[in-house]
Structures are given as C-alpha cells and as structure tokens.
Amino acid sequence: MSYALPLLEIREIDEQHFKDEEAIFLAAGYPKPNEHIAEHARLVSELARLYQQVLDGGNVSETLLAIVREWLITHIGVEDMAFAVFKGLRPAMATQ
Ligand SMILES: [Fe+2]
C-alpha cells in the first residue's frame, strides 16, 4: 500500500489546522506559544520527510504509526490539553 496520497492529505490538513490553532493562541494571549508552535513545525517536517521517503519507494508504516501515536498521546493529550485548560475549556488535571 502506498501512503503517498494519505500523507500528502494529512500534511495539508495539519498545516491548515496548525495555522488555525496558532492564530487562536495569539488571539487568546496564550503564554509561551513558541514551543507548541515548534512542535507543529516539527510534525509538518516529519510528514514531509515521510512523504519523500514514500515517493522514493520506502516503507514508512512503522515510523508513521509511531508519529501518530506520539502525536495523539503527547501532543493532543498534553500540549493541546494545556491550552484547553488555559482557555477554561477543560478542568486542570490533579497533580500528585
Ligand atoms: Fe497543537
């Protein structure tokens, strides 16, 4: 199975999603957004690298799965959630 088209679509969707999210950060006065924005750029760069690997005939399935897993658990579950807490959209998690 070729991942070229799905990767291209994911990258395009992510780029627009990240631009929208970053605009919301700035409008909301989210403190220290640069690390979060850098993570977005890193993902877009990773997807571009994988896309090129697929075009070159490489198998990226395991790397893609690792990136998606990291993105769902770490980025959305921690970084995006921190912004949701900042905006009052989610309660802060209790710390031990
Ligand atoms: Fe994000």
pLDDT at position 95: 63
Give me the mean pLDDT over the 87-91 stretch.
Answer: 90
How close is the Cα of 70 to the center of ligand 1, in Å?
Answer: 12
pLDDT at position 32: 87
| DSSP per residue, 8-64 | HHHHHHHHHHHHHHHHHHHHHT-SS-HHHHHHHHHHHHHHHHHHHHHHTT---HHHH
Predicted confidence band of residue 26 (pLDDT cuts 50, 70, 90) = very high
10 to 5, 44, 93: CA distances (angstroms)? 9, 9, 30
Cβ neighbors of 42 (< 8 A, separation 6 or more) are none
How close is the Cα of 39 to the center of ligand 1, in Å?
Answer: 7
Give me the mean pLDDT over the 27-43 stretch.
Answer: 93
The 10s digit of each residue's pLDDT in 53-84 is 999 999 998 998 999 899 889 999 999 999 99
Who has greater pLDDT, 2 or 92?
Answer: 92
The structure's pTM equals: 0.84
How close is the Cα of 32 to the center of ligand 1, in Å?
Answer: 13
